[in-house]
Structure 1
Amino acid sequence: MTVTRQNVVDFLYHEANLLDEWKLLEWAELFTDDASYTVPPIYEPDADATRSLFYIHDDRDRIQKRAERLLKKEAHVEYPHSTTIRNYHNVLVQDLDQDTIKVLCNFTTYRTKREVLDSFIGKQQFEIVSQDGKLRIKKKKVILHLDSLRPQGKISLIL
């Protein structure tokens, strides 16, 4: 499969749309079996997960479990679900001719819940591979560019 820059950008927009529509099981299927999804501490984007507390540090199994858990009514922090709008900007696609495509983009995620609007901003780093004729996420790293997490100091949705 010959992958173009537009294929990669469309894939990222598809990923964002699945999250905004709360199609979390379909979102989890975008990941490879050896995938990771991480959100390192604010101000420490290159932190070592064995020495620092990450907001999120999921392997493929935990990605699946996170998606399943957030869809349950028992997940009170996200039931009813937040309304979100995700935007990916300044998408830089590298290594299209390699086995692993690297992508860096800025992102903005707006979330509204119980009359409160939160904004999450930062950068996302992806490693994307082609498997069985489809693009898949091998690595997703979300680097928050915030002073702090407001108001509760946690992340209850998938960024």
Structure 2
Amino acid sequence: MTTLDITHKTLTDFIYAEARLLDEQRFEDWLNLFTEDGHYWMPLAHGQTDPRLHTSLMYEDRLLLRVRVERLAGQRTFSQQPKSRCHHLLQAPTVESSAPGGEHIVRTAFHYVETRQDQQTLFAGWTTHHLVEDAGALKIRLKRVDLVNCDAAFGNIQLFM
């Protein structure tokens, strides 16, 4: 197994590329960015430290992410006709920590817009990516999405932030 040459630019380029996959609705490609034990987490409270001991807006492993991706691709998913669309506006990612051959933690502030028909919803917050080298590629072990108003009442969030 080869160790990747991980630089600050490699990590930030990964974050931008991941957001673009979501904006272009390339959900299969996006799902392939996750490790087999990867999770997508959206806490319900500020400073939440454990997704298993407290309720979260979302805490999904690869299986649940796969189900959502398949639902979004389904022709009989009537709640997605017409399909929702999204756009990520990212602040420059900050590399919080980086260990050669280990875990890299990258934090990014964002504005995210999700739209379907004439309804548009704006979310703001921060993502924290825990990235690892897996089979010669950079992969997401954990993507944590902290919304500024995480404790608000939300309608359905259809896509991935």
TM-score, normalised relative to structure 1: 0.88
Give identity over the alignment, percent.
28
Match of 1:77 in 2: 79
CA deviation string 1:70-125 (max 9, x = no partner)? 22133333332222111221411133334000011101111222112211110111
Match of 2:51 in 1: 49
Q: Do the aligned partners of 1:123 and 1:144 also contact (CA within 8 Å) in 2?
A: yes
Q: Which runs of 5+ in 1 are unaligned?
A: none
Q: CA RMSD in A?
A: 1.8
Distance 1:67 1:115, change over 3 A: same
TM-score, normalised relative to structure 2: 0.87
Indicate the larger mover: 91-100 or 8-17.
91-100
Match of 1:96 in 2: 98
Q: Do the aligned partners of 2:84 and 2:158 also contact (CA within 8 Å) in 1?
A: no
**Equivalent residue for 1:118, pick from 113, 116, 121:** 121
Structure 2 SS opposite 1:121: strand
Match of 1:62 in 2: 64
**Equivalent residue for 1:36, pick from 35, 39, 61:** 39
Match of 1:145 in 2: 148
Deviation at 1:47, TM superposition (A): 5.1
Match of 2:11 in 1: 8
Q: Do the aligned partners of 2:15 and 2:93 also contact (CA within 8 Å) in 1?
A: no
Match of 1:27 in 2: 30
Give the whole-Å Cα distance in 2 for the aligned partners of 1:139 and 1:17: 18
Report 1:120-135 matches (<5 A): 120-135=123-138
